[in-house]
Amino acid sequence: MARSVPVRLLIPAIGVDTPVIRLGLAADGTVQVPPVTAHDRAGWYRHSPTPGETGPSVLLGHVTVGPYGDGVFRHLARLRRGERITARLENGTAAEFAVTAVRTVPRTDFPADDVYGNVDRPELRLITCGGARTGDGYADNVIVFAALSGAKSPTPGER
Amino acid sequence: MRRTVLSALALAGTAVLIGTGPAFADGPATPSPVPASAAPTTQPEKSAEPTRAAEPTPAPARDEPTRAPAEGQVSVVPSGAPDTGVAAAPASGSDGTALGAGAAAVLALGGGTVFVVRRRRATGA
């Protein structure tokens, strides 16, 4: 698919329908995460391919947003193999993905190669936190791996 | 006398010949500047060098494709793990627990008092 940034993410199985913001790098070299607000949104890491391009397109979202309660990826760990994820793109097209794996890994042993390494097809990575709470955060990361299953051309009024 | 004149003439002739000899030798030597004309040929070589100098331009072009795979599909790999969870204020949770514990203590105390009062009434104390 042609390069076009994602503007919306839909995961029907866990009731996610969220706008997508752009994220870069934080000053300490870690990936930026969406702001902690009442209306939590997902974010696309802008140094990764756009959904539908060959490579791992990386999207992040909070599991909880402190005083505001549940984050947009609250139930990400519930996703199962084969479930559908749709990324709507700025050019009006949509990239359809199917979940291939869901992993919960310790944050201290984050699998950067598996998440950010090159692949030979369009793939998606959805990342949030999970596992036991540690202070004001979490001990683990939940990572959903998905592969492109189809593409939709623009539908009038569907953006 | 005649001999002397003749030999002198002969000497002079040979001298002239010898003198002209180097002159001829010089003559062909002058063509050696012709190599000067070869100098122009070296010049074209020099001018060829700039074309070699142009080689560096293709060189970076070679670098770019090699850089692209090196960079990877994710052009900048972040360090560490994403911090995508701000836990829902554990402090408020512990406050809640404290409140609950306090309420339970009050209830227990109240219950105990009622029990003791009833017991005393029953025994007529």
In this predicted structure, the answer to whether residue A149 has a pLDDT above a threshold of 90 is: yes
**Residue A117 and residue B83: Cβ atoms within 8 Å?**
no
The answer to whether residue B118 is domain-embedded is yes
CB-based burial label for B82 (10 Å; 0-12, 13-18, 19+): buried
- The answer to the question of residue B102 being in a domain is yes
Given phi > 0 = left and psi -120 to 50 = alpha, else beta, which region is A106?
A: beta
Closest CA to A63 of A136, A129, A108, A9: A129
Does residue B121 lie within any of the structural domains?
yes
Q: Is the distance from CB of A86 to CB of A151 less than 8 angstroms?
A: no
The CA-based angle B77-A117-B66, given to 5 degrees, is 80
pLDDT above 90: residue B105: no
The pLDDT assigned to A155 comes to: 59
ipTM of this predicted complex? 0.91
| Domains defined along chain A, listed by start | 6-152 (2.40.260.10)
pLDDT reported for residue A125: 98
pLDDT on residue B119: 56
Q: What does the block give as tokens for A112?
A: 């950067």
CA distances from A99 to A27, A79, A130, A149 (A): 32, 8, 18, 10
In a domain, B74, yes or no: no
Residue of B71, B79, B84, B95 to mutate for A, most A C-beta atoms under 10 A: B84
B86 against A82, higher pLDDT: A82
For B81, the closest of A63, A67, A110 (CB atoms) is A110
Q: How far apart are CA A76 and CA B37, in angstroms?
A: 82
Measured between CA atoms, the residue of chain B closest to residue A106 is B81
Instruction: Judge whether A124 is closer than 8 Å to chain B, CB to CB.
Output: no
Q: How confident is the model over B29-59, as pLDDT tens digits?
A: 445 454 444 445 445 554 444 444 444 444 4
Q: Which domain holds residue B121?
A: 94-125
Interface touch B73/A56, C-beta < 8 Å: yes
Percent of chain A past pLDDT 90, that is, above it, reads: 91
How many structural domains is chain B composed of? 1
Question: Does residue B107 belong to any structural domain of this protein?
Answer: yes
Strands in chain A per DSSP E: 6-11, 16-23, 42-45, 55-60, 84-89, 94-106, 122-134, 137-152
- Separation of alpha carbons A86 and A158, rounded Å: 13
Distance in angstroms (rounded) separating the CA atoms of residues A40 and A61 = 8
Three-class secondary structure of residue B78 per DSSP? coil
Above 90 in pLDDT, residue B71? Answer: no
What's the confidence (pLDDT) of residue B66? 38
* A55 at B interface, C-beta within 8 A: yes
- Name the β-bridge partners of A103: A143
Taking only Cα atoms into account, the Rg of chain B, rounded to an integer number of angstroms, comes to 58
Q: Is residue B99 part of a domain?
A: yes
Find the closest chain A residue to B93 by CA distance. Answer: A67
